[in-house]
Amino acid sequence: MGLLLAIVCSLCVGYAVADWQGRRELPRILRRVARRVQGRSPSLVDTHYYKALTSLLNEQPDEALDRFVSSMEVTPESLEVHLALGALLRRRGEFDRALRVHQNLLEQPELSEERKQHIQLELACDYWRSGLLDRAVDLLKELIALPHINKGARWQASAYLVEIYQEMGDWLEAVDVADTLTSAKFAREPDLWRRLQAQFCCELAQRKLQHAEPLNSETAANIAAKLRQALSYDPNCVRASLLQAELALLRDAKKEALNALKSVPVQDARLIPDALPLLAECMADAELHGAHLALLKQWFDESPSLALMLAIAECMQEQEGESATRRFCLDALPRIAAIRFEVPVLMLTLSGAGSPGFSERFQQVATLLEHFVYYQCDQCGIKMQQLEWRCPGCHSWGTVAQVSEPAPRSES
Ligand SMILES: [Zn+2]
């Protein structure tokens, strides 16, 4: 009884240490091996396994791992465990060992084609995660080119390739491979891939635009074609419309720029604030000031926001004077959900008697309102001060937008 208690205690201590080291999965995997080999194939319960287990219980997981990788026989029963171990090693950043596990598996005779393709995908992942992007790309291309490749494996290989080309900044290749993912043959979430393709086209267009000084007609036509392609993939791609406006303004084609910007409220009203500086450029001529104000008011009526209210107030101060601006602001403030708690104090500030002139009071309000303007990713919730087309947190594309809800009090 005392001996049994001692064994149980030492096992508990062993696993507690393993847990503490963040290596809980390893004992689990080796236990799974033990169950499999003991239950199904007694001949495999050999000295190597016991040596590996002893190393593990002696808190030498690295040695246990090496013993396991180098000596355990690969059978149909243990293949899954080897794959799990390879994936675990990759997650732990031990790429050389993960590669050894997967290369060892590939050398096994009598693997079914499907299994072989699965292992090659794992191997490509090892190359990718360890930074050997070219080798990963070559292996994935080889896989995709196989005449009888399993449908799921081809989809996965193509999806990995798109990810890797993004890491390499090779947007042209990323667009081409994503085309195969949206084809009718094995389309899975085609709209998602098309939204990504639109962003990749925008990356290409933006890069050309940044290095296009002076802008010649050939480059402008090339950029315009990329942006049309982006909108053909995703008609709601605000980024493409903003870039179209930017390109048109560089060519001094203000009407064309204005037409592109008019798409933004339809595509995603949350991104209207990011269209306002370009809109102001389109409407810079004095004879367009009235039209500018009318368009801003129309957009505000459809989608009230702080940014629009401030833009309107700025135009109104110039065109219609202080008292009209004050009336507009006092009407507009209660329509903006993001500042519902602050409306009374803002209204008091704007209409306050005996305080500085309206311009100063308006400036105070505008400064206060800046605290409510922030961007947030739909996917991971990360907050940021400026628009990012690719979320810096979860790396999703086109998921960041200006938020219409108030920031938590502690952050404001
Ligand atoms: Zn995110």
The pLDDT value recorded for residue 42 is 43
Distance 88 CA to ligand 1 centre (A): 25
**For the chain, what percent of residues have pLDDT higher than 70?**
72
Euclidean distance between CA atoms 105 and 100, whole angstroms? 8
Distance 284 CA to ligand 1 centre (A): 36
Euclidean distance between CA atoms 173 and 90, whole angstroms? 26
Most confident of 37-41, 84-88, 98-102: 98-102
**For the chain, what percent of residues have pLDDT higher than 90?**
41
pTM > 0.85: yes or no: no
Distance 196 CA to ligand 1 centre (A): 14
Distance 403 CA to ligand 1 centre (A): 14
Distance 168 CA to ligand 1 centre (A): 20
Distance 170 CA to ligand 1 centre (A): 22
Distance 395 CA to ligand 1 centre (A): 6
Distance of CA 10 to the CA centre of its chain: 45
| Residues that place a CB less than 5 A from ion ligand 1 | 377, 379-380, 391, 393-394
Distance 169 CA to ligand 1 centre (A): 19
pLDDT of 149 over the 50 cut: yes
Token pair in block for residue 117: 């393709």
Distance 387 CA to ligand 1 centre (A): 12
**Buried b / exposed e across 81-92, counting CB within 10 Å, b at 16+?**
bbbbbbbbbbee
Distance 274 CA to ligand 1 centre (A): 19
Could you please report the per-residue DSSP string of 235-268? TT-HHHHHHHHHHHHHTT-HHHHHHHHTTHHHH-
Euclidean distance between CA atoms 313 and 308, whole angstroms? 8
Distance 393 CA to ligand 1 centre (A): 5
More confident residue, 108 or 44: 108
- Lowest mean pLDDT across 40-54, 280-294, 311-325, 396-410: 40-54
Distance 159 CA to ligand 1 centre (A): 19
Tell me the average pLDDT of the chain.
Answer: 80
Distance 388 CA to ligand 1 centre (A): 10
More confident residue, 328 or 248: 248
- C-alpha pair distances (Å), 271 with each of 236, 307, 325: 11, 10, 24
The pLDDT value recorded for residue 333 is 78
pLDDT of 58 over the 70 cut: no
Of 151, 207, 156, 148, the closest CA to residue 177 belongs to 156
Distance of CA 311 to the CA centre of its chain: 31
In 20-70, which ranges are E strands? none
